[in-house]
């Protein structure tokens, strides 16, 4: 467990993305006494063909707030960008730069760039660019510069092109908390289209089996960060199995 209290920020393109991919880690960190925030770039309001998109937006925000409470997140933020039209432009990049400086997260979780969904690709780029600008003291904004200490990409069924899992994290203890939070969402319960919860509960069980626990999630490191320096081979903490 980290020796100091950290702040974890999960950034999703739409309401539902962060819950289903980062929700287990949000729950894990919150349960351990750390601060967690969920940031939604859009409400994902155009994803229900049976509802008016403005009415569905209001419903989705209520669902997001309820899920965040179940996870133990300290804050749930929904930005006012239209679903399907998220732009990685200067205005939005600086919006996220300012949020990073205000929130001061130690860890950021977001989409991988290899997605067929344009909003997911935009969210990746906005996070990368906004986080970069947030760290530069020479960029003068209302808040002082802040450096994100750890950036990780989440495993999303829509973002799997060249996704490379690097770390498996045991989330068994918070699995039921996460399920309860996800079930606040009509979409995640599988009542609108794809059965998200069915898919991701199975994925967590699969990843748990891969590392000898009941449930686990994977994250990917930025490619530049995959090189690791160690003094000795970590056979005690990370044995390299041959069978």
Specify the pLDDT at position 238: 76
In the chain, where the domains are located? 7-225
Compute the average pLDDT of residues 10-33. Answer: 98
Q: What is the 3-state secondary structure (H, E, C) of 166-196?
A: CEEEECHHHHHHHHHHHCCCCCCCCCCCCCH
pLDDT at 143 over 90: yes
Q: For residue range 46-105, what is the model confidence (pLDDT) as tens digits? A: 999 999 999 999 999 999 999 999 999 999 999 999 999 999 999 999 999 999 999 999
237 pLDDT band, cuts 50/70/90, is: confident
pLDDT digits (tens, 9 = 90+) for 148-184: 999 999 999 999 999 999 999 999 999 999 999 999 9
The pLDDT of residue 233 is 83
Phi, psi (rounded to 5 degrees) for 74:
-80, -25
- The order of strands in the sheet holding 216-220 is 75-81, 35-42, 7-14, 107-110, 150-154, 216-220, 167-170
**Domain spanning 7-225, CATH architecture:** 3-Layer(aba) Sandwich (3.40)
Work out the percent of the chain whose per-residue pLDDT is above 70.
Answer: 99
Alpha carbons 31 and 21: distance in angstroms, whole number: 17
pLDDT tens-place string over residues 176-222: 999 999 999 999 999 999 999 999 999 999 999 999 999 999 999 99
Q: What is the pLDDT of residue 15?
A: 98
How many angstroms separate the CA atoms of 176 and 59, rounded? 23
Q: pLDDT band at residue 1, thresholds of 50, 70 and 90?
A: low
Q: Residue 24: its pLDDT value, please?
A: 98
pTM: 0.95
């Amino acid at each position: 467990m980290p020796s100091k209290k950290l702040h974890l920020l999960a950034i999703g393109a739409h309401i539902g993305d962060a819950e289903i991919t980062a929700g287990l880690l949000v729950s894990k960190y919150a349960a351990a006494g750390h601060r967690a925030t969920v940031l939604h770039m859009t409400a994902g309001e155009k994803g229900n063909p049976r509802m008016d998109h403005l009415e569905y937006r209001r419903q989705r925000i209520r669902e997001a707030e309820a899920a965040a409470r179940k996870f133990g997140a300290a804050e749930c933020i929904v930005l006012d960008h239209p679903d399907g039209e998220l732009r990685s432009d200067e205005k939005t990049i600086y919006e996220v730069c300012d949020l990073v400086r205000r929130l001061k997260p130690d860890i950021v979780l977001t989409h991988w760039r290899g997605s067929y969904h344009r909003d997911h690709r935009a969210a990746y780029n906005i996070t990368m660019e906004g986080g970069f600008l947030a760290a530069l003291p020479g960029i003068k904004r209302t808040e002082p510069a802040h450096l994100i200490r750890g950036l990780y990409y989440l495993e999303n069924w829509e973002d799997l092109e060249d996704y490379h899992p690097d770390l498996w994290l045991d989330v068994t203890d918070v699995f039921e908390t996460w399920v309860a939070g996800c079930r606040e969402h009509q979409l995640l319960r599988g009542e609108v289209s794809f059965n998200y919860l069915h898919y991701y509960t199975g994925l967590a069980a699969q990843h748990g089996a891969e590392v000898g626990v009941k449930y686990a999630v994977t994250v990917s490191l930025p490619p530049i960060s995959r090189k690791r320096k160690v003094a000795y081979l970590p056979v005690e903490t990370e044995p390299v199995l041959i069978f």
